[in-house]
Structure 1
Amino acid sequence: MIEAIKKRRSIRSYQNKPVEPEKINELLQAAMLAPSAMNLMPWHFTVVTNREKLTQIPTYHPYTNMMKTAPCAIIVSGDRAITKKDAFIYCDCSAAIMNILLSAVDLDLGTCWCAIAPDESRMSAFRSAFDLPEAWLPVAVVAVGYAAEQKGMKDTFKPERITYCE
C-alpha cells in the first residue's frame, strides 16, 4: 500500500476509454471499507458516466475541467439523516475518498479529487444536477479514468512540519 500512496497523483487528463463496471465496483467497495465516526457510515456514492452530465460539471464547479475528458465521476455525499454532525461527515467521506484514490492506483486508474462542500453554490448545483436529496451533503467529486498523462512520484515530506513530544 505504501507504493500506492507514493504513486498517487492528481490526474487531469484522461483517455477516451470507459472504466469497467467491475473496477468502479472495486473502488466503491474500498470506499465503504473506510473507518467512520461511531461506525455510522453516512456516505452515499453517485456514479456518473453520462458524458453530457460530466461535461456540464465545470460550468458550476470552476476546478473540474478534467471532467470534460474523464469517463466517470463519483460524487461522495454524507447523509445528515444518519449523522447530524457535518464534521463527522467530512471526516468519514474524506476517508472513503482516500480509499478510492489509493485503490485506483492499484487498478491502473487515474483520479482527481475536487471539493464541493462547504461552498453552498456548488453544493446546490450538484444537488440540482444529480437530483441529490437535500439531506445529503455533497462533499466532493472524484474524476476517474485511464490517465492520458504520466506523473512521477513527488517528494512532499517536510520534516519541519513534525513535532515530537517525548
Structure 2
Amino acid sequence: MMLRGEPYVLWRAVDEHGVELDILLQKRRDTAAAERFFRRVLRSCPAPRTIVTDQLRSYPAAKSRIPELANVKHVFVKAAARVNNRAENSHQPTRERERRLRGFLDPKRTQAFLSSFGPIRQHFALKRHLLRASLYRKQLAQRFEAWHRFTELAQNPSTV
C-alpha cells in the first residue's frame, strides 16, 4: 500500500471463519514489526492453535520471541498471485475502499479508519451464498436494526 508515495505494509489477523481480528499498518516487514503485530493481536484475542503466514522468515523469528506462541503450530502458505487463500483475499475490501477514496494519505488516519472499518464491515458482511434469500434479508434487517440501536446510544449516551 502506498501512502504519499511511501510503501507501507498492511498486516491482518483473520480467524478460521474469515473474520478480521486486527489490522495494523507499518512501514517495515521485519522481525520487530512481526513481533509488534503478534503482541497486538494477542492483547485482544487468545493464543491461536495455528498461525498461517506466507514464507517470510521474520514470522518464525518473531514467534520465537513471544512465550505465548511457543507451542503454536506455524503453517506456511505460498503467497503468490492468483492463490486462493484467506490471507491473500482478506485484503480485497481494503483495496476496494482505497480505490473509492482515491488512495489514503496519512498513515495515522489510515490506521484509525481501517481499525474501525473492519468490524463494521464484518457486521454487515453475511455469507450470502450459504443463506436463502428470505433468511438473508431477515438477518440483514436484524443487523441494521442493531446498528441503528447502537448508533442511537452512541449519539445520546444520556438515554442509557
Q: What TM-score does the superposition give when structure 1 sets the normalisation length?
A: 0.24
**Highest RCO, 1 vs 2 (Cα 8 Å, sep ≥ 6):** 1
Larger Cα-atom Rg: 2
Q: Which has the higher helix share?
A: 2
